[in-house]
Amino acid sequence: MDGAPFGRYRLIELLGRGGMGEVWRAFDTVTERGVALKLLPAHLSGDEEFQRRFRREAKAAARLREPHAVPIHDLGEIDGKLFVTMRLVDGCDLHQLLTRGPMDPGLAVGIIEQIASALDAAHRIGLVHRDVKPSNILVGEDDFAYLIDFGIARVIGETVLTSTGVTVGTWPYMAPERFRSGVADASADVYSLACVLYQALTCWPPFPGQTLEQIVAAHMFQPPPRPSLVRGDVPAAMDDVIATGMAKDPRLRFPTAKALARAARDALGGSAASVRGGLTESSQRSSGGWIDPVVPVAATSVDRPANVTAAAVLAFLCAIGPALIGVVGFVEGLGKRDVVYLITALVFAGVAGTLVWGGFMALRGATARCLRRPPLVFGGVLVALSVIALTAGTFALAQAIAMFALSTLMFLCSLLVRAPSASVFFRSRSQRR
């Protein structure tokens, strides 16, 4: 058989290349079967700690026995290159399939149900995938879905995080707690699976920002998108499924991946009608199982929760006091007789800081912690500094503190008000009735 020799394997065809290395279609000359062989990045081969963790995680993943999880056959090192071999699946990954357009809702939920089964089986033995995304989901014959890269994503992610401070994973599918602490548990996989479900239904990731900063900010602060706004044939009940699966607080998400899948099926009316065979070119043309892609438009405030809007409005109103004092003081030159007005305005600034911080904490699912100390200390320090400055006759310093309060508040407001672009979708013209 043709192909470049690699130990007992022959590398026949390069299937893909990414952050986790190269994937080859290979032939195992010992077992005489085709396999998928993943060559890990060369710079990791010389890292002894990485090799130790890699072997440990890969062996743990090899224990996973679940039809929808691609099993690991072999792992090791040949010619200084780390590799792992897996079952070769003839099919296409979900990312490639979605380039044709969003899926029929029944087919999309069917794939999510299969991947949920693999995730729950992994979670039961302590495995967390960490990189659930469309390109790691393979769809083969009869729409049978597989989840790949168990164990590998975690060990590579830890290595890159500790060496460069950058988290591995695909940003549009990462749970918000991973951006804050890097922690990834089973609930983070559930969040990612909800993101994949949204994309399967709409053909777009939940937060398709143009920059990394926009994507991170959206995952941390913006409410989950609503697929029913994109497609008229997606029931509004699916919005609740996505909202729960993508909850900012991990404790508010579905407890298991299968719970997410069951809720998605129920949102469709509980119908489990067969959608097999929907991936062949002929059936796509004849059955209408694929929908024309929709185009995202600029974000609007339609999905902004009330607590965010209220916090921003109240913060703006409370900030008017320092603004007026700063402007009038600059033009007219205020005296000490206006001390009470200045202090009152600064107290308003402290209150505004509390409100804005409250909105921020509420978005993180921690409403009970909205009145934490930072905003109170911030407001109190400003008032104390103002009193000291005015007592010493330094009105200019007090005025500067007022302006500092204003600028700080407006910055906090911007964290809540500014939304990444292209985060809210509307139905395309062809889908409107």
Question: Which residue numbers are catalytic?
Answer: 131
**Pick from 103, 117, 262, 259: nearest CA to 196:** 103
Token pair belonging to 303: 């999905």
Phi, psi of 34 (to 5 degrees): -80, 140
Token pair belonging to 220: 């941390």
DSSP 102: P
Token pair belonging to 144: 């049978």
DSSP 92: E
Distance CA 3, CA 14 (A): 11
Distance CA 327, CA 344 (A): 16
Does residue 38 have a known ligand-binding role? yes
Token pair belonging to 231: 């497609």
Distance CA 46, CA 311 (A): 52
Q: Is 221 helix (H, G, I), strand (E, B) or coil?
A: helix
CB of 169 closer than 8 Å to CB of 180: no
Distance CA 82, CA 53 (A): 12
Give the residue ranges of the annotated binding site.
Answer: 38
Annotation: binding site for ATP: 38
